[in-house]
Amino acid sequence: MCSVNNEHTVWLDPAYIATDGLQTIVVWFDNQYLEHEDSFLKKAEEFNDRKRGELRVEVVSALKALSNTSFDKVKGQLNALESAEQVLAVKQHWIINGFTCTVTTEGLNSIKALEGVDKIFVKRPPSYTKREDMGPEFIESKPVSRFDIESVESYPWNIKRIRAPEVWSEFGITGKGTLNVVHDSGFKLDIPALAETIYTNDGEIPGNGLDDDNNGFIDDYHGYNFDAGLANLNEPNIRRGTNIHGNMCAALISGTLETNTNQAVGIAPDSQWAPVIGSSNFEQAVEWAIEQGADTYSMSFSQPNLGEFRTHWRKVLEHGTLSGVVFISGAGNFASGASEAAIPVQMRTPEDIPNVVLGVAGVGEDGQRPVFSSQGPVEWNTDYYKEGTVAKPDFATLNFEIPCIDPEGNLLNKANGNSLSSPHMAGIVSLMFSANPDLLPWKIKEILIETAEDIGAEGFDYQSGHGFVNAYDAIKAVMKR
């Protein structure tokens, strides 16, 4: 569906249905940093000899300049539309050149007429909001890490299978200096294995109700709930059998030691991690992660039936990758059972995004793929991205009967699912960045392809991608480079 705006055709998401109610949309201006569907690969080739930190500063500066130029031209009109209650809750973005807002039908028509408006997508509402049983927002006193290579007495089979202890002992690389953002829910922040490595935003004074670092978010000391608009994402009353999904994933990446033992639980135990919630406002979550200096961004969730909105997700993560972040997502659990889906939609968003999201499947301790593990290929036939069939998943790690921390920080949970394959990969990538912080995200992927162990049909296959990844071979290749 299209309309004409000053002789320019505005594309409108076919999911939009005119009603008397309010709908949330995300608007693209016409001047994007990556202008075309094939621009990411061309930019990556152009930037191949750059250092990641320098490139991050340059790309973020360019993204913000584009956003401000376009937004400033229409800011006055948007203010007027808000006063007339045609438009509500305008949020400018810089990770794409555009903004999110809620509109009436009349407001949508007014948005179409704004200078530079190019595309309008229908946005899903938040699925996770404020709860009364959450808090406190921050850890009063962050405990000193108990992790020391020499003091580790044991580790579960999955940490050994990933070969993380070999990396620690032979190379002395434990993830130090890296930040891993965990986009999830179910966080209990005071578990020792996680409290010892949780991120602290030094620009923010915790609990004072002020936006000390002027980034638009109050008290974002450890992380932020972008859907609720609050720093509070701590669930201290989590009990066994309830959602502790975020903690399990975070501990596999950055966990130190099991409570009251010297058993290691994480792949990169000297790294830091930051929790975020943001199923709807993921643009803000990605922007926040970049500005905090994130290295990896783990997404153990899977969204079906996004339609054309997949395009928006992909463009955001393409820009985020050029800003220096490696995005990782589990392949999904939709190959069998009540939630079985047909190929090519067994893998969903964001794991279906090519080039810039490492879509990770997995195997169990026996090296076999569980029947639930989603398979590729996927298809890209949106209005904007038209590759057709795309090879997925990218890699495999571990996803079956994984020892995971419980609400007390003990390794008593055994969990299944590709939610766990993503943090295994994030931990490996964290170690890679710890070995060489200047590596570009697409160089990380190149190394993983070079070092992956072929475990399925010869060459790339639609169950394990390029193969099984282990930390030791990946780090050894990084050190050679």
Catalytic positions are 184, 245, 419
Give the span between the Cα atoms of 187 and 277, in whole angstroms: 10
Distance (Å, whole) CA 261 – CA 252: 16
Residue that is written with structure tokens 């009353």 in the block: 237
Instruction: Enumerate residues 6+ apart whose C-beta is below 8 A from 349.
Output: 302, 303, 304, 306, 310, 313
Distances 270 to 177, 284, 476 between C-alpha atoms, Å: 8, 27, 19
Q: Which residues contact 192 (CB under 8 A, 6 or more apart)?
A: 143, 146, 256, 257, 259, 409
φ, ψ of residue 292 in degrees (nearest 5)? -85, -5
Q: How far are the Cα atoms of 58, 72, 385 from residue 64, in angstroms, in the given order?
A: 10, 12, 24
Q: How many residues does the chain have?
A: 481
Burial of residue 339 (number of CB atoms within 10 Å: 0-12, 13-18, 19+): middle
Rounded Cα distance between 348 and 351, Å, is 6
- Which residues, 6 or more positions from 42, have their beta carbon under 8 angstroms from its beta carbon? none
CA distance 79 to 172: 55
d(CA 287, CA 60) in angstroms, rounded, equals 9
Query: Locate tokens 């960045």: which residue?
Result: 433
DSSP collapsed to 3 states, 152-168: CCECCHHHHHCCHHHHH
Whether residue 401 contacts residue 360, with contact meaning beta carbons closer than 8 Å, is answered with no
- Separation between Cα atoms, residue 93 and residue 67, nearest integer Å: 7
Tokens 């005071």 -> residue: 190
